[in-house]
Amino acid sequence: MTSTPKKIACFKRCSGTHEGVARMLLEWNGVDPNKPNLVGRTPLSWASSSGHEVIVRMLLERNGVDPNKRDSAGRTPLWWASSSGHKGIVRMLLEQNGVDPDKPDWPGRTPLLQASENGHEGVVRMLRERSDANPHKLARWRRTLPWWMSRGFPCAQQPHLDEAGKRNRRIRVPNM
């Protein structure tokens, strides 16, 4: 039996109290945990955005689950977890080999930008500790994270500073 949309939808609905259901679905012969639904979201994507750490752990322990798989909007499980502020899941995903913490969605929003916009300071700290997360990557409307931060987004304490701790004035912002 192959994966069907109903089986994939079951993962979306699984919560921390339904770990057994998720485990049974994963053990079901022919279920592909990488198979997306109609908008391209996988079980890992849904569990990451919903904060279901146990289910995320079960999925990551299974061979072949792709933690970098994008949905139809270009969002990865790390993007969803960062946007929702789920620090434990962000930590688990960052520990996976090959996870790109700087991978933007199609409009250009990175996990760091999303966590910042939504005020998730703990996630912002975790992502800033990574050398491969670039706060100066162009995002929405060709703006960088420091530009958005200087306009009042949360967590604006230091991302707009350069390595020497001085305000970065080299950022060129096109007129709108």
Residues of the chain above pLDDT 70, percent: 68
Residue identified by tokens 């499980």 is: 77
Secondary-structure class of domain 5-150 per CATH: mainly alpha
Which residue would you say has higher pLDDT here, 144 or 17?
Answer: 144
47-61 burial code (b ≥16 CB/10 A, e <16): bbbbbbbbbbebbbe
What would the mean pLDDT of 50-56 be, rounded to a whole number?
92
Question: pLDDT tens digits, residue range 154-176?
Answer: 543 343 444 444 444 443 333 33
Model pTM score: 0.72
The residue count of the chain comes to 176
Query: pLDDT for 59-107, tens place per residue?
Result: 999 878 999 999 999 999 999 999 999 999 999 999 999 899 989 898 8
